[in-house]
């Protein structure tokens, strides 16, 4: 089990979520972040940090966003780790 960044994150990248993760789970894609489910310990620290409410436990991901569960695992494998907060995207 793991937490998942859903596509509600797309375009945000405030990256507040990244700074609280104790397990280096977050990876940075072009316009959104992904959580690697392997190191995620289900601590839930990231969930309340997201202003877009884009992070869910995988059991709680809304039906219309459930494709994002597999997407996180797939994209985390091919995108770089992000360990610190970055300036938000211009738009």
Count residues contacting ligand SF4 (CB under 6 A)? 29
Alpha carbon distances (Å) from 68 to 36, 74, 80, 88, 91: 12, 10, 18, 22, 22
Within positions 8 to 37, which residues make up the interface with ligand SF4, using CB under 6 A? 9, 12-17, 20-23, 25, 32-33, 35
* Least distance (Å) between residue 89 CB and ligand SF4: 9
Q: Is 3 exposed, middle or buried (0-12, 13-18, 19+ CB in 10 A)?
A: buried
Among the listed residues 27, 29, 34, 40, the single contact to ligand SF4 using CB under 6 A: 40
Give the residues lining the site for ligand SF4 (CB under 6 A): 3, 5, 9, 12-17, 20-23, 25, 32-33, 35, 40-46, 50-52, 54-55
């Amino acid at each position: 089990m793991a937490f998942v960044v859903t596509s509600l994150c797309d375009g945000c990248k405030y990256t507040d979520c990244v700074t609280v993760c104790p397990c280096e789970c977050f990876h940075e894609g072009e316009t959104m972040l992904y959580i690697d489910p392997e190191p995620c310990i289900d601590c839930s620290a990231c969930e309340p940090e997201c202003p877009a409410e884009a992070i869910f436990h995988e059991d709680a991901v809304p039906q219309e966003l459930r494709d994002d569960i597999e997407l996180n695992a797939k994209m985390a494998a091919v995108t770089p780790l992000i360990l610190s907060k970055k300036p938000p995207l211009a738009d």
